[in-house]
Each structure stands twice: as structure tokens, then as C-alpha cells.
Structure 1
Amino acid sequence: MESVETTLPPSEKTGPRNGGGAPAVPFFSQADTFRELWPEIRSHCVRVLDRGKFSHGSGVAAFEHALARWTGAEHVVGVNSGTDALVLLLRAAGLRPGDEVVVPAYTFVATATSVVLAGGVPVFADIEERGYGIDPRSVDAVATSRSRMVMPVHLFDRLADIRGVHEVARRRGLTVVEDSAEAIGMRQDGRHAGLLGAGGVLSFFPAKTLGAIGDAGALLTDDDTVAETARALRHHGRGGRTLDHFPGISNPTVLAGYNSKMDDVQAAVLLAKLGRLDADIARRAALSARYDERLRQIPGVLAVPGDVAPHPGGNRVCYVHLIEVERRDALAAHLAARGIATEVYYPTPLHLQPCFAHLGHRPGDFPRAEAACAAALALPLYADLSETDVDRVCDGIEDFYTGRRR
């Protein structure tokens, strides 16, 4: 396969340009990263093509081993998406049909839909007054006798209050599983996110801190039984190389599996990018600090990430730079007109989503989650972003609130 000609196209930031001819600022781009890493990525991918094993092969095993070393996990189970990782985690951790799982009302919808897909019932809780993690007091208030698990979500740049969640979980008899999809590099008292309960997950969606070139994910756990069950679940319930389904599996709650395997091409890309993960995390932190320094001085900006400290024992890893602002939607439109892309995380809290209308919630049930949905705006943040781009974004925000024209 070494004769295969592989080249990358020239880098270009696509999208509208402002009146001065400056390139647009996309919400996410990794063109420069791929240009720099292309020789290594190409080498890994060619080995996959030479082996002719494109799914669930030795490339996936190599990436699992490398990620286990990086995170300190006893077990890493590569799968085809972060969402499937959540479904497998819930089932492998013992969720039974009809069991309730307490989840935050402010998060990506997959946190709650994974509970449904695993046969459970989501029970919503509010988030903290400052920050975006689930509020342990709200968990205590909404948990019922049918609640079996609580799933804190580590969002944007910090862990949820995992100590507080565990305190409630112990008192309520709940198993803690983590939606740590965004949390690569985040640690609590030295332990990586996803290893602070029965297990957790990582998403490798392209925009994540460690991103693939498509969908991919992983389950992390230090629990042998959870890992054993998840490995079988991802491959139709098949054990090892046999065609037997769940031979000797020690978790009796598992009945049937899925086709949730990671493919070796994604593993090859992720293995190449893992070597620069520490540098990418540091780069994102520097860009986030630059944002904070500029944005703190701008009227209309209500909150910046750096103003909320991590919970004791935790660290910051900047995946999304989320600010809260006045007139959020008008600001987003103003920036879009300048060729600056933003994202709303999240437009509607989960308890008010149509797919959960049968649970009977109303506006006002979880006020902090609803307030975040009304005011939060995510700005571009990725390793290929330049300081000039950050300043262009901040200039656009400042002009909107001051009425200045540049």
C-alpha cells in the first residue's frame, strides 16, 4: 500500500469574509493540525490498509492500550461513538428496564436519550448556580425509590461536583456513572474523568479536544465486570473470537448486544493525534485565557469561564469557551454577519424537549438550566485558532455592546 498517492488539499478557512477581506473565523477547524500530522496519520492508515482489517482490529487495540496509559484507566473499550459508549456503559453497569437515572436538565440530548436507549427512564435535575454541572442538592430532591443511577456530566472546561454527587449517591444507594464525553484530560484528585464511579465515556467527535475524522468513542472503567460486559455488548454480545453470545459473562442483566465497534481508520487517526494531546490542551488553555482577559472588560458579557474555579481537587481543560451574555441571539447574528461562527449550547433544556414532554415538566421547573439556555454562547476554540482570530471575535463582541464601528 505504500504506492498509494495521498495528499492533502491546501488549507483554507471557508465561509463568508468581512468587509476588509479577512478570512472568516469558523467555529471549528483542524486543517492545520492535519497538515502537520499527515505523514504520521498516513503511516498509521497505510498499515490498516495493508492488514486489510478495518473494524475491531489490532489498530483499535493499539489505541485502547495507548489511551489507557494516558488516562490511567484499567480498561478502555473503543466504540463507534460517544453516544453508544453511554448506552453500553449504562447496561454494563447494571441498568435494568424501567430503572431511573438522574441526569442534568442542561446538557446535550444524548445524555438523556442514552438512558432511554438502554431501557431506563431519565429523571432531570437542575445545575449549579455557578458553572454547569449537576447540582447535588437537586439530585437529592428529584431521586425516587426507583432511581438506580446518577449520571453527572462534565461540561465545557471543568468536572461536575463529583464529591457532592458521591455523597448523595451513597445516601441514596445510587450507582455513579459519568458522561465524561467532553472531559479528556480532566482529573479529580489525580484520577481521570470517567474513573470516578462505575465508569465513564469519551467522545472523539471531530470538534472534541481529541477528535477523529468522524464518529468514534470509548468507555473507560476500572471495573473488570463493566469492561467485560461492554466489550461483549459492542460486538453483538459475542465473546472473544467465538460465535457464542455472552459465554461466561458475569453480568446477568445483559441479553443482547449491538454493532458498536470502532473502526481501525479512526483508531489510526486518534493514535496519531494522541501524541500531541498535551500540547493541544495547553494551546486551548492559552487561547481561553486570552478570551477571558478581553471579555471581562466588555459590558454585556455576564460570565466568562475563568471566573468560576474548578471544584476542589479538579482541574480545568478547555474544550468549549462558553460565555453568558445579554441579548445572546442578537449577538450571535451580529458575529455571523462578520463571518464569525458561534454555537448555542444548548437552545432548549432537556426537560422542555418535545421527546420528553410525557414526563410532564413545565417552564420554571429547573430555573438555572433554563437561564443558561437563554444566555450561553460558545465561541470558537481549537488548537488551530490564532490569537488574531480570538481578538477578531472579541472585537466583534465589543462592537456589538458599545455600538462602535471598525
Structure 2
Amino acid sequence: MKRTLSPPEVEPTGRTRFPIPFFDQSETFSKLWPEIRGNCLRVMDRGKYSHGSMVAEFERELARWTGARHVVGVNSGTDALVLLLRAAGLRPGDEVIVPAYTFVATASSVVLAGGVPVFADIEEHGYGIDPASVEAAVTPRTRMVMPVHLFDRLADMEGVHEVARRHGLTVLEDSAEAIGMRLRGTHAGLLGAGGVLSFFPAKTLGAIGDAGALLTDDARLAETARALRHHGRSGRTLDAFPGINNPTVVAGCNSKMDDLQAAVLLAKLSRLDTDIARRAELSARYDARLRNTPGVRAVPSGAAPHPGGGRVVYVHLIEVEDRDGLVAHLAAAGIGTETYYPVPLHLQPCFAHLGHARGDFPRAEAACEAAVALPLHADLTEAQVDRVCDEIEDFHTGRRG
């Protein structure tokens, strides 16, 4: 598996410039190709490409790695959220409190599951949901709260649970980005009734397309989720239906994980600890290089992981004064970035009917204007990190020739 690189550009300063994409895993695939190929051939030999034994094998290995009692493989992180909400008992019209600063799937999954998203602001020094804002958002219709673990650290789960206990709320986790994150040894997604993982290609553990999983220690929730992902089929014979195998017990959908995705993920899971360590090294290099750069703030500004929570870097984020200008400068230099997130959820057109206005969640709005993610993946080199930092320094010190 070889790539053909475009010829490098040479700047007047003598600096050689290859493009640096935001994400690239070609080298990882080259290293793992024998194992990936072997797994894929096993799938093809068996002739079952969806919901087969490779998915079951991956679920067992992921359960071992995370410590979850139950792992339910599905076709995306978004579907995992929808199934989690439904399996946890969300009813039509129930309210679920979610942060205003997160990917849209956090809130849209609530809608798709029949609920109503209610927004809360994020912390002053960090991107997790603010427990005080959660408290203010509770109404008699609130049934659940779903914090999100963003970028490189857990939300304040102890603060969220304190509010949830006072109001009798179920705590679910949008832990799509949080593989490897733990609070005092307990993996993200297992700190409430259940959580999810996304295996979108750029994630810390990424597939070659969409895939996801639901994590829980609750056997009944897991059984319901397994039925929901497979058109509502129970997976067993029920006494009420003698002679009928696999009856439909709930109105479900087709959210099964493909075995070829499981084949790739199973191979990549074997080096996940190494990839997490590598991401941490590269993120630390960014921190060291940019610490004193004018106009750049480390993120979360002044924050540290919550007590007992380990840091696992999925995305390296910085806050800058002229985010759009920097993004354009880096793009002109062939460097990819991602904007997390351009518009807070309460101002998105699809949620206009909820009646929010600018200023309702000021910390979420400020983050949307300042945050940008830099290239970060296990195949990135120190030289590439340095070149990204050189360009950021050039932009902020006026050396933009």
C-alpha cells in the first residue's frame, strides 16, 4: 500500500513544504495490512458480511479493553446514541439536557429517539457541560442528561451526577470521542447508565468508514439495544411464540455493524495503546512549541482533567484570536485543520423552533469563535508538528511572506 506524494514546494526561505493533511492513516494501514488482510479474508471465507462472527469477536475484545460488561457494535456513533437513548427508556416528549457546544449528533440523536434536546452551557475553563447550567435547565419534563467528553478529557461527571441525583435523572454519555479515557479506572461510557463510541476514520480507533458501539454494564439495556439494532429482533426464542425463532419484540432499525469494519477495527485495537501514547507525545510537542506564541491559547484555557480523570488526546485544539484568518493561512500552506464547531447548537437552523438567541450560552458561543483543531494522528511526525507550529508562529508574528 504505497502513496504517491505530490512534488514538494520550496519557499523562498528554503523551507520544503509537503502537504500536511488534518488526518492520514496510510502508514498505519501499511504496518497493519497483513493482519487486516487476514481478518478480511476470514470474513470473506465465512460469507457473512453483516452482524457476523467478526463483529462478535470485536465486541468481546473491546469489552475486555474497556472493562464493559456489554458492548453492542453498530453502524455509526450516531446510531449508537439513538439506540442508547431508546434502550434507556426515553419516551416521546421527554427532555434530555445536552451541551450547546458539541457535534450536532448529540442533540439530533435525541430528536431521532423521540425526545426534546434542552441546551446547557459549557464550563468556564473547559469544554464539558457545566453542572450549574444543567441544574438551571431542569424542568418537570427532564428525564435524562447526556454530557459529552470532548477532544482530550472527560466532562465533570461527578458534578453531573450530583445534579442528576437531586432530580432523579438518568445519566447517559456521549463518549463518542473518548476511547481510552477513564475516571479512577472506569472507562468513559460506563460512568452512567451507558455510553457510546464512534469509529469514524479520524477517531483514535478508526474504521475505514462509519461504525460505532454502545457500552453499558446494564444487561437489560444491552439486550434492548441488541434488538433495536437488528429490526427489533430478540435474538432468541420466546415462550410466547413457540416454534418462532428470533421474533420482533420492538420497532427497531437496521443499525448492525459490518464485519469488514470489525475486521479492520480488531486489527487496529491491537495497537491502540501505542497510538494513544503517540498522540500524547505529539500533543505535548504542540503545547511546548506554542506555549508562548502571541495570540494562541492552549485549550482548555487554564483547565486540567477533572480529578481522577486521565487525558487521552483525540484532537489537539488551540484557541486563537483570528481563527478564520489562521485557518486560511494554514490552508494556503497546505496544512489541514478542522473547526470545532462553527455554530453552537442552540443557533443551528434545525433547532430554531426551540427559541434560543445569541447570548443564551455565551461560553459555547465564544468557543465556536476561537477554537481550531490541528493535525493529530499516530502517523504524524515531529517534523510535521514543527512545520505546523512554524506557520502558526509566522501568522501571529507577521511573518506571512
Q: Give me the TM-score of the superposition, normalised by structure 1.
A: 0.94
Residue 247 of structure 2 is aligned to residue 244 of structure 1: yes
Task: Give the CA deviation at 1:304.
Answer: 3.5
Q: How far apart are the structure 2 equivalents of 1:44 and 1:197? A: 33
Aligned partners of 2:317 and 2:373 also within 8 Å: yes
Structure 1 residue 11 corresponds to structure 2 residue 3: yes
Matched with 2:224 is: 229
Q: What residue number does 1:33 align with?
A: 28
Give the AA of the match of 2:35.
Answer: E
What SS is found at the alignment partner of 1:271?
helix
Match of 1:65 in 2: 60
Matches within 5 A, 1:7-406: 8=1, 10-12=2-4, 17=9, 19=11, 20-240=15-235, 242-246=245-249, 255-305=250-300, 307-404=302-399
Q: Tell me, which stretches of 5 or more residues in structure 2 are unaligned?
A: 237-244
- Displacement of 1:11: 2.6
Query: What SS class does the counterpart of residue 212 from structure 1 fall into?
Result: coil
Q: Following TM superposition, by how much is the alpha carbon of 1:189 offset from its aligned partner in structure 2, in angstroms? A: 1.2
Deviates more, 1:181-190 or 1:302-311: 302-311
CA–CA separation in structure 1 for the residues paired with 2:298 and 2:375: 16
CA–CA separation in structure 2 for the residues paired with 1:22 and 1:338 = 8
* Matches of 2:4 and 2:340, distance apart in 1: 26
Asked if the contact 2:97–2:134 (Cα under 8 Å) also holds between the matched residues in 1, the reply is yes
1:240-285 CA distances to partner (integer Å, 9 max, x unpaired)?
1634112xxxxxxxx4101000010000000000000000000000
Counterpart of 2:242?
A: none
* Separation of aligned partners in 2, 1:120 and 1:349: 19
CA contact (8 A) 1:102 1:125 kept: yes
Contact 2:127 2:300 in 1 (8 A): no
Deviation at 1:196, TM superposition (A): 0.5
Instruction: Check whether the contact 2:200–2:207 (CA below 8 A) recurs between aligned residues.
Output: yes
Does structure 2 conserve the Cα–Cα contact (< 8 Å) formed by 1:18 and 1:338?
no
Q: Distance in 1 between the 2:227 and 2:190 partners?
A: 20
Partner in structure 2 of residue 4 of structure 1: none
Relative distance call for 1:96 and 1:392 in structure 2 (3 A) is same
- Describe the SS at the equivalent of 1:103: strand
Contact 1:11 1:32 survives alignment (8 Å): no
4+ runs deviating over 2 angstroms: 11-22, 302-308
Instruction: Letter of the 2:127 partner, please give it.
Output: Y
Deviation larger for 21-30 or 175-184? 21-30
Point out where structure 1 has 5 or more consecutive residues left out of the alignment: 1-7, 247-254
Whether the 8 Å CA contact 1:65–1:76 is kept in 2: the answer is yes
CA contact (8 A) 1:79 1:218 kept: yes
- Contact kept? 1:16, 1:339, Cα under 8 Å: no
Cα displacement (A) at 1:308: 2.2
Matching residue's letter, 2:167: R
Distance 1:53 1:313, change over 3 A: same
The AA in structure 2 aligned to 1:176 is V
Offset, 1:172? 1.1
Q: Distance in 2 between matches of 1:304 and 1:295?
A: 11
Q: Distance in 2 between matches of 1:260 and 1:25?
A: 34
Instruction: Label 1:332 to 1:240 Cα distance change in 2 as closer, same or farther (>3 A).
Output: same
Instruction: Indicate the percent of aligned positions where both proteins have the same amino acid.
Output: 77
CA contact (8 A) 1:350 1:356 kept: yes
Per the normalisation by structure 2, the TM-score is: 0.95
CA contact (8 A) 1:204 1:217 kept: yes
Is this contact kept in 1: 2:82–2:109, CA < 8 A? Answer: yes
- Tell me the SS of whatever aligns to 2:337: coil
Q: In structure 2, give the amino acid aligned to 1:149.
A: M
Q: Secondary structure at the match of 1:364?
A: coil
Q: Provide closer, same or farther for how the CA distance between residues 277 and 376 of structure 1 changes in structure 2, counting only shifts above 3 A.
A: same
Describe the SS at the equivalent of 1:113: helix
306-315 vs 103-112, which deviates more? 306-315
CA RMSD of aligned residues (A): 1.4
Distance 1:105 1:305 in 2: 16
- 8 Å CA contact retained: 1:17, 1:339: no
Describe the SS at the equivalent of 1:391. Answer: helix
| Deviation of 1:13 (Å) | 5.2
Whole-angstrom CA distance in 2 between matches of 1:312 and 1:58: 39
Matched residues in 1 for 2:206 and 2:191: separation? 23
Please identify, of 296-305 and 351-360, the stretch whose mean Cα deviation from structure 2 is larger.
296-305
1:279–1:12 distance in 2 versus 1, CA, 3 Å = farther
Residue by residue over 1:44-93, the C-alpha shift from the partner in whole angstroms, topping out at 9 and shown as x without a partner, is: 00000000000000000000000000000000000000000000000000
Q: How far apart are the structure 2 equivalents of 1:232 and 1:95?
A: 16
Q: Deviations 1:116-136 (Å, cap 9, x if unpaired)?
A: 000000000000001100000
Paired amino acid for 1:94: G
User: Could you tell me how far apart the structure 2 residues matched to 1:130 and 1:13 are?
Assistant: 41
Q: Using the TM superposition, give the Cα deviation of residue 15 of structure 1 relative to its aligned residue in structure 2, in angstroms.
A: 10
In 2, are the aligned partners of 1:292 and 1:304 still within 8 Å (CA)?
Answer: no
**Residue pair 1:133, 1:160 contacting (<8 A) in 2 also:** yes
